[in-house]
Amino acid sequence: MPRINIDGTDYDVAAGHNLLQACLSLGFNLPYFCWHPAMGSVGACRQCAVKQFHDKDDQHGRIVMACMVEATDGARISISDPGVVKFHNSVIEWLMTNHPHDCPVCEEGGECHLQDMTVMTGHAYRRYRFKKRTFRNQYLGPFITHEMNRCIACYRCVRFYREYAGGRDFDVFGAHNHVYFGRHEDGILENEFSGNLAEVCPTGVFDDKPFAKVYERKWDLRGTPSVCVHCSLGCNTTPNERYGKTRRILNRYNGEVNGYFLCDRGRFGFDFVNSPLRLRQSLLRKDGSAEPEPTTKAEVLRHLTGLLSSHKAIGIGSPRASLEANFALRELVGAERFHLGLSASEQELFALIIDILQRGPARAASLKDAEQADAVLILGEDVPDTVPRLALSLRQAVRQKSLETADRMKIPRWQDAAVRNAAQQEMSPLFIATPDATRLDDVATVTFRGAPADLARLGFAVAHEIDAASASAPDLSDDVGVLGRQIAEALKKAKRPLVVAGTGCSSAVVIQAAANIAWALCRLGRQGMLSFAVPECNSLGLSLIGGGTLHDAFEAVEQGGAETVIVLENDLYRRVERAAVDRCLHRARHVVVIDHLLHETARSAEVALPGGAFTEGEGTLVSNEGRAQRFFQLLVPEGDIQESWRWLRDLLDISGRDPGWTRLDDVTAACAKTLSTLASIPQAAPGADFRVNGAKIRRETHRSSGRTAIHAAITVHDPKPPEDPDSPLSYTMEGYYGPMPSALVPYFWSPSWNSVRAVNKFQDEMGGSLRGGDPGIRLIEPASGAVPRYYDDVPEAFAKRDGEWLIVPLQEIFGSEELSRLAPAVAERVSPSYLALNALDATGLRIAEGAMVAVDLGGDISHLPVRVRPGLPSGVGGMVVGLSGSIGTLLPAWGKLIVPPGAAVGKDGHHE
C-alpha cells in the first residue's frame, strides 16, 4: 500500500489510484470536474491541481493535475499551497467567464457541482465584464433538457454518451473557441442511458425534463432509499417528493449493482405513480351495477367480512409485489391455495433458473461481476430491452482486454485516453446469439441469429466443446459447429467468463444450454458465472415463495373449489389468454383485487382495494442476482391507500385470524421464519427499531425550507409530521444524518457537496463499495463443491413450416414493461405494436414495410403493421411483448399470416 504525504502528513492509500482519487478517498475536499470514478481521467478541466514536490528538500514543487498522476509510494503533495489555491480559483474564474449567472432559475441550482466547486475554491467575485458566448439549445426528446450556455467544456457528457454508453447520435462539435455538445440536429436522444447526462454533467446543461415540469429545489425534496421496479436487476434509486407528489428518480449508488448509472426506463418510468389510472379509493360493485363504485374502507371491509368467512378463497400473487405482500396473501388463503399469478410456462422457467442457481456450481453474477467479465456469451436474450442496465455493464466488459493491454504497458487503468489509444479497437470477446438484432451488436465479436431451438443447439454445442461430458447437439451445420468451437475457445481462455440468458425467448432449452456452458467452464476450473434476465422486479422472489400457476387457479374456480379469488397487484389479462381470464372472472363468485392501478382486472372485480405503489410502502424485492433489497416509503399515501400487506392483514383480521402484524418487520420476520429460502431477508436492511444516537434517520434535508408554509392556506399551526412505524426513517428534517447503514441512505449530501457527487463521502474509496458494504443480501449461493448435472434435452433444429411462422416474443425497452409505459415521458417513446418479419419472408408474402397483416395464433387474431427486421431468421416472426396485439398472448407459438388484398405489393413495389 503506497504511503503519500499530503501537506506534511503521511497517509496510506490504495495502490494504483491517482492523486485525486486518493485525496477524495481520504476525505479531502479537492475540486474537480472532468474526472469520473467510472470513466477515469482525461485531464480536460485543469481544476484538480495539486502541488507535487520532488522530495523533502524541494521547496518549489510544480503544479500537476491530481487526476493524471499516480499516487506512488513516497509522493509528496500539497492541496493547500497558496499557488494551488490560487490556481483552483483562477480555473473556476475562467470557466465562469462564459457561464451565465442564472443559478436562481437554473434547475441544477442547489445541487450543482459547479456551484459547489465555485464556493469550495473561494471564487466569489466576477471580474469579466464582456459579452458572453451564447448557443442555441436543442430539443433532445422527452427526457432531457438542453441549455448549452451553461457548459464548461469538461467533456464528461460526450465521454459518457459515446464511449461509455455507446450512443452515436451525440457528439462534440467545435469551431474556433466554440465547442458544442449535442446532436447534429434537434431530435430525440436515442441512447437508453441518456438520463444519466443529468447526473454526469456538472452544470445545468442537461437536466431531467419531466422533473423540470414539476420542479422543486433539492433542499425541499424528501428522499428515501428505494429499488427500481421496472425490471429484475434491482437498481438502487432515490425517489424524491414534495407536497405529496413523486417528482423524480435519482441514481442511488450500489457498488455491486447499478454503480453510478440507471437506464431511462428506470429513471423516467416512476411517473406511473401519478397516473390517472391510479386506484385511489376502495371500489365495490353493488348488485347489478356495471362498474364498481367508490366506497369507504369501513364499508368494503364489512362487505368482505361475510364474503371471506363463508366462501372458499384462493390467492393470486404477483411478481411486481413485495415478498411481504405475497407472503401475506399466502397466509390469508393458505399455501395450497396460493398461486403465483404467472402462466405455467413462465413459472416453469423461473423455477428452472432458481434450480440452476441453487444447484451450482456456477454463481449468479452481479452487475459489477458482469462488468468485469472477460468473455461473454449472450444466449437468446435481448439484453438492452429486457434488463437494460446489464447492457451497460457488458459494454464495459468488452473493454477488459484493453485494460489488460494497459496493465502490460504499465498505463494506469484510469488514464482513459491513454488506455483507449494504446488498445485501439481491442475488445474482449462478446458473442450474441438471439432471434433478432440487439443494440449491443455493435460491440459483439460475432452475432448469430436463430430460432430459440437453434440458439439452444448452439449453446449445447459450446458446452460440449468445453466439456465432452455435456450433451452434444447432433447434425449441426458446419458454420454453427465452427462458431460453437470459437465461442468455446474464447470462454475457456477467459478468467471470468459469463453466460447471459433469460426468459426473453420463453425457452427452457435455451436456459438449460446456458447452464451447461457455465457448468462446463466451472468443471474446467474457471469462475463460470451466469446472469439470467427475468422480467419483473420480484420475479425470482415470488418463485422462491412458490405456489400454483394461474391455470391451476382457473381450474380451481372452474371446479368449484374456489368461490372467492383475491388478486394481488396483477393484471391477469397481461399474463395469459384473454378468454381464460374472462372465464375465471365470470365464474368466480367474488373477485377482490388489491392494486395501485385500475387496470382491466381491477375494473372487472367486485371489490378493488387501493394498494400503495412503491413510493407509498415498504417491502423487500429479490433481483435476478438473488439479492434481497428493501425499498422504503417516500410519502404517506392519501385516503384509503395502504400497502397491500396491510390490506391483507386487515382481511386476516376480519376473518378472525389476526396475525399480530403491526409493522413491516413483523411480516418480514414471519416470512423468513416460514420459508427457509427467504430466511435471511430481515438482513436486507436494518429494522424499524434501528436508531443512531437514539434518533431516526431523516428523510428531509436540514435545509428544507418553508415547512410551516406548506399548510398555510389551511392552518397557521404546524401539523404533526407523519410517523413511520415501519422503518428507522423519520418524515421530517429532524433526526440523524451522518454515517449510516448503506441500505438506509435517503439521499447523498455532505457539507460542501450538494450535488450527486456527494456520494464520494459515502464510499470506502472512490468508485468502490458504500461504507459498511453495498445494500442487499444475496439469497442464492450455489452449493459448495457442486458437481454439474448437465441437461441433455437437446432440441431438434428449427424447421420452417409452409404457410406458418413461429412467432417469438420480442421486447422493447419502452413499452414492454407494464408500469413505466404509463409515465407520460416514457409513453412518448413507446412505439406502436408491430409484427416483425424477415425481409425474404416479407418479399415472399409480397408485403412491404408498414403493410397491415392479420396474425392468427390459434384463432386469436391481431392486426398489425409489418416491420421488416433483416436479422430475424426466415420462418420466424416476432411480436412485442406488452404492446397491444400481443398482450396475453403466450409466445412462442405457431401462427398464420393473412395478408389483406390491399396490403400486397407487386414486384415493382407498388400496391396491387
Which residues of this chain interact with ligand FES, rule CB under 6 A?
20, 32-35, 43-48, 65, 67
For residue 374, the SS3 value is coil
Interface residue with ligand SF4 among 388, 459, 782, 815 (CB under 6 A) is 388
Contact 444, 433 (CB under 8 A): no
CB of 513 to ligand SF4, least distance (A): 25
Cα separations in angstroms, 269 against 20, 572, 683 = 35, 21, 28
Q: Which of 669, 706, 636, 621 is nearest to 235 (CA)?
A: 621
Find all residues with CB under 8 Å of 729, minimum gap 6, and list them.
224, 632, 696, 697, 698, 699, 735, 744, 746
Helix, strand, coil shares, percent, the chain, to 5: 35, 20, 45
Q: Can residue 263 be called a binding residue for ligand SF4 (CB under 6 A)?
A: yes
The residue type at 202: P
Find all residues with CB under 8 Å of 806, minimum gap 6, and list them.
451, 798, 875, 876, 877, 892, 893, 894
Give the DSSP letter of residue 40.
B
Contact 286, 604 (CB under 8 A): no
Find all residues with CB under 8 Å of 408, minimum gap 6, and list them.
none
Nearer to ligand FES, 22 or 314 (CB): 22
Query: How is residue 306 written as a grid cell?
Result: 361475510
CB of 461 to ligand SF4, least distance (A): 31
Cα separations in angstroms, 545 against 325, 538, 729, 777, 865 = 11, 11, 28, 17, 41
Nearer to ligand SF4, 87 or 155 (CB): 155
CB of 562 to ligand SF4, least distance (A): 34
CB of 379 to ligand SF4, least distance (A): 19
* H helices present in 398-477, as ranges: 400-408, 416-423, 452-466
CB of 36 to ligand FES, least distance (A): 9
d(CA 157, CA 473): 46
Nearer to ligand FES, 114 or 144 (CB): 114
Neighbours of 797 (CB within 10 A): 16
Contact 420, 409 (CB under 8 A): no
Nearer to ligand SF4, 262 or 550 (CB): 262
The residue type at 881: V
d(CA 390, CA 135): 36
The DSSP annotation for 553-581 comes to HHHHHHTTS-SEEEEES--GGGTS-HHHH
Q: Can residue 262 be called a binding residue for ligand SF4 (CB under 6 A)?
A: yes
CB of 880 to ligand SF4, least distance (A): 17
Select from ligand SF4, ligand FES, none the partner in contact with residue 231, using the beta carbon and a kind-dependent cut-off of 5 to 8 Å. Answer: ligand SF4
Q: Nearest 5°: phi and psi at 804?
A: -135, 155
Interface residue with ligand SF4 among 183, 248, 389, 829 (CB under 6 A) is 389
Q: Which residues pair with 498 in a beta bridge?
A: 376, 529
Select from ligand SF4, ligand FES, none the partner in contact with residue 263, using the beta carbon and a kind-dependent cut-off of 5 to 8 Å. Answer: ligand SF4
CB of 249 to ligand FES, least distance (A): 27
Select from ligand SF4, ligand FES, none the partner in contact with residue 84, using the beta carbon and a kind-dependent cut-off of 5 to 8 Å. Answer: none
Q: Please report, as residue ranges, which positions from 162 to 181 form the binding site for ligand SF4 (by CB under 6 A).
A: 181
CB of 159 to ligand FES, least distance (A): 12
Nearer to ligand SF4, 133 or 401 (CB): 133
Nearer to ligand SF4, 166 or 728 (CB): 166
Find all residues with CB under 8 Å of 289, minimum gap 6, and list them.
none
Select from ligand FES, ligand SF4, none the partner in contact with residue 193, using the beta carbon and a kind-dependent cut-off of 5 to 8 Å. Answer: none
The conformational region for residue 276 under phi > 0 = left, psi -120 to 50 = alpha, else beta, is alpha
**Per-residue x/- track, 145-164, ligand SF4 (CB under 6 A):** ------xxxxxxx-------
Q: Can residue 201 be called a binding residue for ligand SF4 (CB under 6 A)?
A: yes
Q: Can residue 233 be called a binding residue for ligand SF4 (CB under 6 A)?
A: yes
Nearer to ligand FES, 155 or 272 (CB): 155
Nearer to ligand FES, 34 or 592 (CB): 34
Nearer to ligand SF4, 22 or 197 (CB): 197
CB of 38 to ligand FES, least distance (A): 14
CB of 756 to ligand SF4, least distance (A): 13
Nearer to ligand FES, 202 or 888 (CB): 202
Q: Can residue 265 be called a binding residue for ligand SF4 (CB under 6 A)?
A: yes
d(CA 194, CA 168): 11
CB of 43 to ligand FES, least distance (A): 4
CB of 66 to ligand FES, least distance (A): 6
Nearer to ligand FES, 35 or 268 (CB): 35
Q: Can residue 205 be called a binding residue for ligand SF4 (CB under 6 A)?
A: yes
Residue number closest to ligand SF4, CB atom: 266
d(CA 35, CA 766): 11
Select from ligand FES, ligand SF4, none the partner in contact with residue 265, using the beta carbon and a kind-dependent cut-off of 5 to 8 Å. Answer: ligand SF4
Q: Which of 393, 395, 392, 401 is nearest to 374 (CA)?
A: 401
Neighbours of 299 (CB within 10 A): 11
Nearer to ligand FES, 205 or 340 (CB): 205
Binding-site size, ligand SF4 (CB under 6 A) = 26
d(CA 184, CA 171): 8
Contact 71, 2 (CB under 8 A): yes
Nearer to ligand FES, 21 or 98 (CB): 21
Q: Can residue 266 be called a binding residue for ligand SF4 (CB under 6 A)?
A: yes
CB of 179 to ligand SF4, least distance (A): 8
Residues at the site binding ligand SF4, with contacts judged by CB under 6 A: 151-157, 181, 201-203, 205, 228, 230-231, 233-235, 258, 262-263, 265-266, 387-389
